[in-house]
Amino acid sequence: MKIPSLKIGDLTASVPIVQGGMGVGISMSRLAAAVANCGGIGVISGVEPGFNFDGYYKDKIKTNLKALRHHIRKAKELAPKNIIGVNIMTAINNFEDMVKTAVEEKIDIIFSGAGLPLSLPKFVKDSNTKIAPIVSSGRVAKLICKQWDKKYQYLPDAIVLEGPKAGGHLGFSNEDLETENENKSSLTDMVKEVLESIKPFERKYNRKIPVIAAGGVHDGRDIARLLLAGASGVQMGTRFVATHECDASEAFKKAYIDAKKDDVVIIKSPVGMPGRAINNDFIRKVYENYENKEIKCIRCLKGCNPKSTPYCIADALINAQKGNFEKGFAFAGENVYRIKEITSVKALIEGLMKEIEEYEA
C-alpha cells in the first residue's frame, strides 16, 4: 500500500509514526531527534527529565524544568528541520509549569495523557504548539472535544488512541485488561469508534482531527491495518527502546531483548493506575511482601500516596534506566518479547516502511 504522510495542522511527517514518550529517561533528546530525522515525530518524555542533572535531589521541580528546556533545545539542534514533541502526563504535580516551559521553547506538539488534560488549550492558544490528548476510548475523546469546544473554542490538533496492549500506565481498569483477549475490541475497532465520536466536532470546525493509534503496534502489517481502518498514523514506544539511539542504558535495552512472553505482567502502580511491565525480582519482592518502606516523597505525582505504597515509582524507574534492576523495573508493551535484537532507528523505520508498502489487505 502507499504510505501516507501524517499531517497535524501545518506539521507534516513523511513517516506516519510518532515515537512514544517513555520515562524516566528512556526517550529524551537523542532518541527523539533520531526519529525526527528519519521523518517521524520524535517525542521527549516529560517525566522526571532532570533525574541525572546536578541539583535534582535538592530541587526536583526546578531541575526538571531546566532539564526539559535542555532536551527540547538539544533535540531541535540535532533535528533542526523536523518535528519534535514532548509527552507531559497530567498526573504530575507541576503539569502546568512543564506545559508552559515546553510552549516557551516552541515545541512542535504536546502529547498528554494519564488523566484528562482539560486545561491544555489555554496554554497554547497564542502559540504554534499543537496539542494531542491521549485517550482510551471514543467516549473519552468525545468528552475532551466537548469540554475544549465549550470552554476554549478549541479542538485537539490530533488524538492519540492508546489501546490496552501498551506499555507503562494504562487508561483501563484491571478487569478490562484481564478480559481483553476474550471480549475487548481490537485496536482497529477502537479507531473506528473514536473516528465516529469526533465527527460532530470535525463538522462544526470544518477540519479533520487526525487519530493516531497506539498500544501493541509492532510491525508494518499492524501499521497498515490501522491506516486502512482510518488512523492517520501510529504511535510506537517499545520498538524504539531496542535501538542504539535510545537514551536508556544497555542493561535496560537487554531487559527488552531477554523478555519472554510470560514475563510481561500488569502491576498496580503507586500512581493508582494499572501498568504493564517486565516482571523481575524487584516487582516480585514489592508486590508479594508489600511492606511500606521509608519513602522520601516530594509529591511529584498527584495520585501517589507515600503512606501506602511500598516503593517510589520515580526512583524505581530511574534505577532501571541506569540498569540497576535490583531496585527497579522496566515498563514495556505487550509485544516486547517479539524483539530479538538492537538496531538503529533508521534501520527500524526503513524496515517498517517496507512492510507497509508490501502489505496486501
Residue listed under C-alpha cell 518479547: 337
Range of the domain at 311: 251-321
Distances (CA, A) of 358 to 30, 149, 221: 30, 40, 9
Is residue 334 included in any domain, yes or no? no
Q: pLDDT for 269-303, tens place per residue?
A: 877 788 999 999 999 988 877 665 656 665 666 66
C-alpha cell at 167: 506499555
CA 277/CA 329 separation, integer angstroms: 7
For residue 310, the SS3 value is coil
Q: Which residues make Cβ contacts (< 8 Å) with residue 136, sequence separation at least 6?
A: 161, 162, 163, 164, 170, 171, 172
Q: What type of residue is 168?
A: G
Are residues 308 and 215 part of one domain? Answer: no
- Quick one: average pLDDT of 119-146? 96
- 91 and 193 share a domain? yes
**19 falls within a domain:** yes
The answer to whether residue 229 is domain-embedded is yes
3-state helix, strand, coil in the chain (%, to 5): 40, 15, 45
Quote the pLDDT of residue 182.
45
Rounded to two decimals, the pTM is 0.94
pLDDT averaged over the chain?
92
* Domain contains 1: no
The C-alpha cell 512514544 sits at 20
Reply yes or no on whether the pLDDT at 171 is more than 90: no
Q: Are residues 255 and 244 located together in one domain of the fold?
A: no
CA distance 229 to 194: 11
pLDDT tens digits, 64-89: 999 999 999 999 999 999 999 999 99
Nine-digit cell string for 211: 487519530
Are residues 80 and 115 part of one domain? yes
Same structural domain, 122 and 138 = yes
143 with 290, same domain? no
Same-domain pairing of 120 and 210:
yes
CATH of the domain at 133: 3.20.20.70
Contacts of 150 (CB under 8 A, 6+ apart): none
For residues 310 and 205, membership in a common domain is answered with no
What pLDDT, in 10s, does the model give residues 200-237? Answer: 999 999 999 999 999 999 999 999 999 999 999 999 99
Burial of 246 (0-12, 13-18, 19+ CB in 10 A): buried
Q: How far is CA 196 from the centre of its chain?
A: 24
> Do both 15 and 146 map to the same domain?
yes
